[in-house]
Amino acid sequence: MNRLNTMESRLTSSTRAQNVESFLQVRKRSEEICRPLETEDYVIQSMDDVSPPKWHLGHVSWFFETFLLSRFAAGYKIYHEVYPFLFNSYYEAIGARWSRPKRGLLSRPTVREVYAYRKHVDQHMASLIDTRMAAESREFSFLLDLGLHHEQQHQELLITDIKHILSINPLKPAYAEPPQPEAGGVPLAKFLQMEGGLCEIGFEGFGFSFDNERPKHRVWLDDYTICNRLVTNREYLEFMEDGGYTQPLLWLSDGWYAVTDRGWNSPMYWEQQEGKWFVFTLAGLQPLNPDEPVSHVSYYEADAFARWSQKRLATEAEWEHAATVLNVSPAHGNFVESENFHPVPCRDSNQDPLLQMFGDVWEWTCSSYLPYPGFQPEPGAVGEYNGKFMSDQMILRGGSCATPRSHIRKTYRNFFQCDKRWQFSGIRLASEA
Amino acid sequence: MNRLNTMESRLTSSTRAQNVESFLQVRKRSEEICRPLETEDYVIQSMDDVSPPKWHLGHVSWFFETFLLSRFAAGYKIYHEVYPFLFNSYYEAIGARWSRPKRGLLSRPTVREVYAYRKHVDQHMASLIDTRMAAESREFSFLLDLGLHHEQQHQELLITDIKHILSINPLKPAYAEPPQPEAGGVPLAKFLQMEGGLCEIGFEGFGFSFDNERPKHRVWLDDYTICNRLVTNREYLEFMEDGGYTQPLLWLSDGWYAVTDRGWNSPMYWEQQEGKWFVFTLAGLQPLNPDEPVSHVSYYEADAFARWSQKRLATEAEWEHAATVLNVSPAHGNFVESENFHPVPCRDSNQDPLLQMFGDVWEWTCSSYLPYPGFQPEPGAVGEYNGKFMSDQMILRGGSCATPRSHIRKTYRNFFQCDKRWQFSGIRLASEA
Amino acid sequence: MNRLNTMESRLTSSTRAQNVESFLQVRKRSEEICRPLETEDYVIQSMDDVSPPKWHLGHVSWFFETFLLSRFAAGYKIYHEVYPFLFNSYYEAIGARWSRPKRGLLSRPTVREVYAYRKHVDQHMASLIDTRMAAESREFSFLLDLGLHHEQQHQELLITDIKHILSINPLKPAYAEPPQPEAGGVPLAKFLQMEGGLCEIGFEGFGFSFDNERPKHRVWLDDYTICNRLVTNREYLEFMEDGGYTQPLLWLSDGWYAVTDRGWNSPMYWEQQEGKWFVFTLAGLQPLNPDEPVSHVSYYEADAFARWSQKRLATEAEWEHAATVLNVSPAHGNFVESENFHPVPCRDSNQDPLLQMFGDVWEWTCSSYLPYPGFQPEPGAVGEYNGKFMSDQMILRGGSCATPRSHIRKTYRNFFQCDKRWQFSGIRLASEA
Amino acid sequence: MNRLNTMESRLTSSTRAQNVESFLQVRKRSEEICRPLETEDYVIQSMDDVSPPKWHLGHVSWFFETFLLSRFAAGYKIYHEVYPFLFNSYYEAIGARWSRPKRGLLSRPTVREVYAYRKHVDQHMASLIDTRMAAESREFSFLLDLGLHHEQQHQELLITDIKHILSINPLKPAYAEPPQPEAGGVPLAKFLQMEGGLCEIGFEGFGFSFDNERPKHRVWLDDYTICNRLVTNREYLEFMEDGGYTQPLLWLSDGWYAVTDRGWNSPMYWEQQEGKWFVFTLAGLQPLNPDEPVSHVSYYEADAFARWSQKRLATEAEWEHAATVLNVSPAHGNFVESENFHPVPCRDSNQDPLLQMFGDVWEWTCSSYLPYPGFQPEPGAVGEYNGKFMSDQMILRGGSCATPRSHIRKTYRNFFQCDKRWQFSGIRLASEA
């Protein structure tokens, strides 16, 4: 999907046609993700963090309608007067909105009506992209890119939300086939010695980036080590069997509160039956594979595991520095395109120094989500996209098995509250040198 | 539906066939009620009191499967091993169950699967009813009757729950056409002088009754008056305009707490637009008709209105006594069969003394839901049907526009907590003589 | 305390002096109850139902100030302009008030200041009672009686609230010495056969009564039995050991919810140490005496115990009828004057037919707290005293070991919600004849 | 209080005597702070964040008992077996403890008993400090210092908690006299240009420091500006009058939620009467002084004010760097010793470049509370002191009018959640250079 990585001018009609094609491809992907669903699955909000799939499908369309069609398509009329109220997520500048934790109380619009809305938006967007104005406007071009990356973020959320929706159902339905097991063993954990110094992190250059990745700026790094691969279920089980969930001294205070208050005794989606561990996956309930990277852990669990290991998590600067220095790219990770919908065991055919940096699971860092020095939110209403969430969250890096490959970068900053577990989130260890 | 009113022996095959027919008719009615729904409407639980329509459809089928098929149909196997867990409402004797306020979190079984379950149960029930055993067993016969009355209760709940599900949606969808207005005026309110004394209330004799209506027993009644008709919206508006919702001295203490805590300032489903009152109905939002009986009021509101009127509500004994003495029958009320799905203005063509006693709205009495002297719950698990709810609820009498005509009796005791408003519940005044 | 039982005219100065004396005696009693307290004990609100002792002491004084001094004492000025806000309990007609569950957040006024307030009110009240106006005004006379009975009710609450305040403290402080054990055995439980018929209950005649006890009215009673004594701890332990708290079928639905939600597995204040039961009393933690009447049970527990016993609770009419027919009087019960602050084992020296009807523990009846036919609340603001609580509560009869002897009558109606347990509340069984 | 700033050996008896003296001085100070209290004020927990003063007094004593007497005083016996349970704050390694939000439910031990406990601890501590062992043990020495700094932290909390306890009382009691107004005007706000580069922050050297201030480490700072003084009430009022609390775009998302959910429309303790602003202080309710630094604002408010000002808050590194470079010391700030118990207007007699850095109000930085690179918690149970709180909190710097002067350092890191407002917390602006 080259479209997402370039900002070149698109003056020729063939470029414009290609842009339309790229747009429709991303849009179609969202619908493909929903193909295995029953109508009823589209409607449910299984917990406050989850949105009903039909809401996701409507919301991303509203994004294009609000920030592009309404503004750039001459004479465009809002598709339905109530939809902006229903599908606005959190844009205060845009207006009032339906309460987030009540998204699962809406039977209407129906799934069919939401698809009709999508079709309408797609047609108007396709026409608009194919105009000279669009091809020549830097702002349009940016907002189109933003809209497409936005849709990709919701594609990831669709997968994690569908997983949760199915997981709470006693019938334990499956969404897909389980991934094919690959032969081979997990490489030994090695802590790579990294030389610090005055480094630079953050995005600069051509191609799309979010405002929160900018500006590129200097940071001082002491020497550090970073582990060559993710923590596995086998290693996490050792932590559990060593009383990880019963020793308060391993935990942050708020983490221990979460453990006791919510009765956590394993990662999310794990369940024990007759002494054996199983894990709910998008392929239904499966026996736990000890070689897979541990997933669906909170920051608190990642932090406690690291403390138990006498290590720590990496800072986001260390993570990005290591990826840069060791020249790791997102080209070959386990992303959504592999259709595993699940992290897979680490295999090291090429004897790369640093494995699993991209795809599989988002990696909790020990950095808070704060503005980079000199941070400027995007101008206009889309300035609410990232900046206003810069408190009480931690940074995750690298993307997951639910992330579109073209969506991720080494400078990409994901962020969630410390107690969130429903994303594919895992652990990579680091330490002082 | 003669089936529901007789307990005669059914030895001949034609009787058996007729019983099968009656059974299927009641079952079909539940599905007819759902016909206007979109698939998505079946899934939602718009508040804790509401159940998703597909849950209702499954639960009533589970009732037949559990209490009849499993017991009387030789070799019958449970349709799906998880369904008893999903569709048990509150029968502790039967086993564990899915948490009630989480019924809206279940996308599966799908609506289609629930209909398949119904079909399966119907086929096996039809066969079973048509056996000699069934025809000769008093217990089977009673449980069949109970199951059918149970299904009728859920037909009423389907209507009130669908109303709520649609009401909270900003798109304000309609379920049916509005009722045709009938010419004429509302008769004057008259308080009929009733002579009390030593009376009898409660059910005795042939035909079906719930355990909570029995035994027939003596009560002493002082002389009293009872109003010839229900309180209208016009009268209730007077109460509102006289500051009804702002004067604590008109209210029970718990009622005033509900008013202030929940911000009540009108009956449920009312909303004011530019100074005019509208009301959400199963035909969508409609201008308030002042002639209609007020509906969707809580006990607290009924009680406050009565106090404001310097009257009171009737006791359940007075209500039943008046219906008996004045010989009022449920034959001609505004029940679900009229397909109004809404109370209609009182019309008095026959100059009956006591109007609107049956149908339109359930009438709050000032009697708590307590066992009659000598009350015995049904033996077995169905003993949980009524008896265990005999605390913290008030009695309502007479049925509503959502009640099947064949379901109601003058001894019928409905019951809800004082703060419930989503049923069609209204007000009839009474007083000391 | 003759004062409380007469309404005779008090024209002579000696009568007036006697009235002053009676007033001061009741007032002094409240302070005597608090004598064993530390200053800190006066301040705490250990749960929402409890009020800090200094609040009780202030509130009852506010009652006299508001309903008598402000109205009848010429030129009387409110002691402190903020006190009416702080000490109004629930009188909407009087004005705004401090939130009830936040009574424990007020360190000021101090205990000393509250006692000064009491002294001020006492002096002004003593002067006022000693005027001719007071002696001749029926309304004053009634309100004075009401204020004194009100103070007595708070004397009982002081004791139960102090008990709770001390009970939650890990230091388990004692308020008084334990009662002296009396020799003898508990009489056998006997169910007395009572002949029903058309009976009368409710208060009529001279002397003080609350509005909710009136008017005297007819009720029909079927024949019934009533147990000669209260249920003992020994009997309640049998229920517990027979799985009383683990069998949902013994419980009302709301009761079972309370059991599971709050983890009830014994009456309040019981605790098990190394297999033996202890009970927290106003004399600290004591070994459970199986002969004592069971106390601190909710309505739900009383009801479940009765169901397990294949009996039921008495209605309030049966209770009052039995007390009348068998001529039981409150003269010799275990009231607060005995300074046991705890129920004592039943002893039957006189071979009375009906024992423990008064004192020891309030007896849950199976009657809801509803207005008697023809009920009229007192005129004016004191009309809020009783009437507005007539929903969602059950009637208790007979007084307890914390009740002043002169406060109780056979027509006296106490009322609490079904789940309350911090009063001295127990069980007497009854049944159909 | 030289004692707190040295770690020199104390071998001579005169040194030991001096150490005893220093210990007793700090201890006495806590009691002096409580002198204006009524007994009742010691008992209240006015919100979850507040602890009752008697709890503070007991807890700091328990700290010495647990970490020093029990360990170093031969044969020392715990004063009361239940006190460790009551007075442990959050040390999981030490054992179970009374629930924090229920500290206000304990009337016992009484205030008198807590003072007796203090006296007991003081006597044993004085003896212990005066032993040769103590004088020679580095660990003892460190723990003694820690205990004294711990007590100083609770002295600050005593003041802020007493303020809250008094503030919620409608009687609005005062704790002290208001500060004397000083003549003069507030200096103009100037943004000092600061040169960044590779800098060092964190504690190193002799004297006491907390583990979270260590190790000293390098950080890269871009050039920045920092304001020469704190934001005043006048400036904050401009923000308010410009709609600061009604414009969501000025706020972090969680901040806006706090504003709407809690109805914030001014700093804590402000109230408007007839159009004029008043503020509750430890001298009771006072007219708002526009020259004073704004206080009792949350991080969210500080951040929103900074955004409205088109500035930002300083990072903690910038704050510490500026204090170092400009050589600001805590010698002359408005600390607790000035007995203002309130921030005072900025006065600039010496024309210092950087004013109000120490004392008056804690200054919110835009840095999260995270471990410094190479952070090591103290060994043993006191390792729980700081490290386990390193999530979901922001750093504040500089101390307040409630901080003891000898307690603060330029490397000192205070930390609170973003929504906390009951500390003396204010705003200093900064920006990119």
| C391·B432 Cβ contact <8 A | no
Percent of chain D with pLDDT over 90: 91
- With an 8 Å Cβ cutoff, is B252 touching chain C? yes
Distance CA D75, CA D128 (A): 12
CA distance to partner chain A, nearest, from residue D377 (Å) = 12
Asked whether at least 3 C-beta pairs link B and D within 8 Å, the reply is: no
Which pLDDT score is estimated for D9? 46
B425-426 and C394-397 beta bridge pairing:
unpaired
Output the CATH code of domain C191-432: 3.90.1580.10
Instruction: Provide the 3-class DSSP secondary structure of residue C287.
Output: strand
Which residue among D44, D82, D109 sits closest to C107, beta carbon to beta carbon?
A: D44
Asked if residue C360 lies in contact with residue C426, where contact means CB atoms within 8 angstroms, the answer is yes
- In order, the DSSP letters of B226-278 are EESSPPBHHHHHHHHHTTGGG-GGGS-HHHHHHHHHHT--SSTTEEEETTEEE
For A124-150, the pLDDT digits (tens) are 999 999 998 888 899 999 999 999 999
**Among C residues 193-212, those touching chain B with beta carbons less than 8 Å apart:** 198
Q: How many CB pairs under 8 A join B and C?
A: 83
Which two tokens mark C34?
A: 């608090």
Which pLDDT score is estimated for C205? 94
Which pLDDT score is estimated for A320? 98
With CA atoms as reference, the chain D residue closest to A247 would be D92
Distance CA C7, CA A288 (A): 82
- With an 8 Å Cβ cutoff, is D105 touching chain C? yes
Asked if residue A203 lies in contact with residue A214, where contact means CB atoms within 8 angstroms, the answer is yes
For C391-412, the pLDDT digits (tens) are 999 999 999 999 999 999 999 9
- With an 8 Å Cβ cutoff, is D38 touching chain C? yes
Section D368-389 average pLDDT: 95
| A40·B111 Cβ contact <8 A | yes
Distance CA B47, CA D388 (A): 40
Which pLDDT score is estimated for B280? 98
- With an 8 Å Cβ cutoff, is B373 touching chain C? yes
Residue type for position D104: G
CA distance to partner chain A, nearest, from residue D347 (Å) = 32
- With an 8 Å Cβ cutoff, is C182 touching chain D? no
CA distance to partner chain C, nearest, from residue D368 (Å) = 33
Q: Which one-letter DSSP state was computed for residue D431? A: E
- What is the separation of C-alpha B33 from the centre of its chain, rounded to a whole number of angstroms? 15
Residue position matching structure tokens 């209208």: B232
State the fold for domain D2-167.
Four Helix Bundle (Hemerythrin (Met), subunit A) (1.20.120)
Which two tokens mark D196?
A: 């960044």
| B370·C373 Cβ contact <8 A | no
Instruction: Return the residue in C107, C111, C168, C175 with the most chain D beta carbons within 10 A, the one to mutate for interface testing.
Output: C107
Section A95-108 average pLDDT: 97
CA distance to partner chain A, nearest, from residue B47 (Å) = 9
Q: Indicate if the pLDDT at residue C80 is higher than 80.
A: yes
CA distance to partner chain C, nearest, from residue B91 (Å) = 9
CA distance to partner chain D, nearest, from residue A311 (Å) = 11
Mean confidence (pLDDT) of chain C: 95
Q: Indicate if the pLDDT at residue C231 is higher than 60.
A: yes
Section A212-236 average pLDDT: 98
| C254·B391 Cβ contact <8 A | yes
- With an 8 Å Cβ cutoff, is D373 touching chain A? yes
- In order, the DSSP letters of B271-313 are EEETTEEEEEETTEEEE--TTSBP-S--HHHHHHHHHHTT-EE
Distances in Å between the Cα of C385 and the Cα atoms of B104, C6, C153, C390 are 43, 21, 12, 11
Mean confidence (pLDDT) of chain B: 95
Q: Indicate if the pLDDT at residue D7 is higher than 50.
A: no
Burial group, residue B214, by CB count within 10 angstroms (0-12, 13-18, 19+): middle
Which residue among B86, B108, B166 sits closest to A40, beta carbon to beta carbon?
A: B108
- With an 8 Å Cβ cutoff, is A300 touching chain D? yes
Measured over the CA atoms of residue D399, residue D405, residue D410 and residue D416, the dihedral's sign is negative
Percent of chain D with pLDDT over 70: 97
Summarize chain D as % helix, strand, coil (round to 5): 40, 15, 45
Which two tokens mark C39?
A: 């200053």
**Among D residues 73-92, those touching chain A with beta carbons less than 8 Å apart:** 90, 92
Which residue among D40, D86, D105 sits closest to C107, beta carbon to beta carbon?
A: D40
| B392·C392 Cβ contact <8 A | yes
CA distance to partner chain A, nearest, from residue D425 (Å) = 18
Distance CA C71, CA C77 (A): 10
| B40·A44 Cβ contact <8 A | no
Against chain B, the chains showing at least 3 CB pairs within 8 Å are A, C
- With an 8 Å Cβ cutoff, is B306 touching chain C? no
User: Please, which residues have CB within 8 angstroms of residue C430's CB and are 6 or more apart in sequence?
Assistant: C191, C224, C225, C226, C227, C311, C312, C313, C314, C315, C318
Which pLDDT score is estimated for B4? 45
| C38·D171 Cβ contact <8 A | no
Which residue among A39, A98, A170 sits closest to B39, beta carbon to beta carbon?
A: A39
Distance CA A6, CA A139 (A): 14
ipTM of the complex: 0.95
User: Please, which residues have CB within 8 angstroms of residue C426's CB and are 6 or more apart in sequence?
Assistant: C230, C231, C293, C294, C295, C297, C302, C343, C360, C361, C362, C363, C364
Record the pTM. 0.95
For A370-379, the pLDDT digits (tens) are 999 999 999 9
Distances in Å between the Cα of A431 and the Cα atoms of A307, B360, D392 are 11, 74, 22
> In the structure, what pLDDT confidence band is assigned to residue D125 with cuts at 50, 70 and 90?
very high
Which pLDDT score is estimated for A364? 98
| B40·A42 Cβ contact <8 A | yes
Distances in Å between the Cα of B98 and the Cα atoms of A168, B37, B89, B95, C382 are 11, 24, 8, 10, 48
For A167-206, the pLDDT digits (tens) are 999 999 999 999 888 888 899 999 999 999 999 999 999 9
Asked if residue C166 lies in contact with residue C200, where contact means CB atoms within 8 angstroms, the answer is no
Q: Which one-letter DSSP state was computed for residue C419? A: T
Which pLDDT score is estimated for D182? 81
Asked if residue A267 lies in contact with residue A288, where contact means CB atoms within 8 angstroms, the answer is no
| A44·B105 Cβ contact <8 A | yes
| D41·C170 Cβ contact <8 A | no
Distances in Å between the Cα of B295 and the Cα atoms of B281, B300, B363, C99, D214 are 11, 13, 9, 33, 69
Q: How many CB pairs under 8 A join A and B?
A: 82
Asked if residue C239 lies in contact with residue C259, where contact means CB atoms within 8 angstroms, the answer is no
Distance CA A337, CA C282 (A): 71
- With an 8 Å Cβ cutoff, is A183 touching chain D? no
Percent of chain C with pLDDT over 90: 91
| Portions of chain B given CATH number 1.20.120.450 | 2-167
Which residue among D220, D373, D418 sits closest to A432, beta carbon to beta carbon?
A: D373
Which residue among D222, D248, D370 sits closest to A366, beta carbon to beta carbon?
A: D370
Beta strands, E only, A177-324: 191-194, 197-201, 217-221, 224-227, 270-273, 276-281, 284-287, 312-313
- With an 8 Å Cβ cutoff, is B374 touching chain C? yes
With CA atoms as reference, the chain C residue closest to B431 would be C374
Which residue among D93, D373, D432 sits closest to A222, beta carbon to beta carbon?
A: D373
| Portions of chain B given CATH number 3.90.1580.10 | 191-432
CA distance to partner chain B, nearest, from residue A155 (Å) = 20
D267: preceding bond cis by omega (within 30 degrees): no
For chain A, the distance separating the N- and C-terminal CA atoms, rounded to the nearest angstrom, is 39
| A303·D391 Cβ contact <8 A | yes
Section D342-348 average pLDDT: 93
Which residue among A219, A253, A367 sits closest to D389, beta carbon to beta carbon?
A: A253
Asked if residue C298 lies in contact with residue C258, where contact means CB atoms within 8 angstroms, the answer is yes
Distances in Å between the Cα of B193 and the Cα atoms of B314, B430, B433 are 13, 10, 7
Distance CA B82, CA B79 (A): 9
Which two tokens mark C183?
A: 């020799």
Q: Which one-letter DSSP state was computed for residue A336? A: G
Count of other CB atoms within 10 angstroms of residue D235: 18
Distances in Å between the Cα of A410 and the Cα atoms of A58, A145, A157, A297, B356 are 30, 18, 20, 22, 73
Which pLDDT score is estimated for D270? 98
Which residue among C108, C168, C169 sits closest to D171, beta carbon to beta carbon?
A: C108
Section C107-115 average pLDDT: 98
Instruction: Provide the 3-class DSSP secondary structure of residue A217.
Output: strand
CA distance to partner chain B, nearest, from residue A44 (Å) = 6
| C92·B248 Cβ contact <8 A | yes
Contacts of C198 in chain B (CB under 8 A): 198, 220
Count of other CB atoms within 10 angstroms of residue A377: 17
Which pLDDT score is estimated for C11? 54
Q: Indicate if the pLDDT at residue A2 is higher than 50.
A: no
Distance CA D2, CA C35 (A): 48
Count of other CB atoms within 10 angstroms of residue C204: 12
Query: What parts of chain B have a pLDDT lower than 70?
Result: 1-11
Instruction: Provide the 3-class DSSP secondary structure of residue D87.
Output: helix
Instruction: Provide the 3-class DSSP secondary structure of residue B377.
Output: coil
Distance CA B163, CA B343 (A): 14
Burial group, residue B238, by CB count within 10 angstroms (0-12, 13-18, 19+): middle
Which pLDDT score is estimated for A11? 54
Count of other CB atoms within 10 angstroms of residue C349: 6
User: Please, which residues have CB within 8 angstroms of residue D313's CB and are 6 or more apart in sequence?
Assistant: D302, D303, D306, D364, D365, D366, D427, D428, D429, D430
For D230-246, the pLDDT digits (tens) are 999 999 999 999 999 99
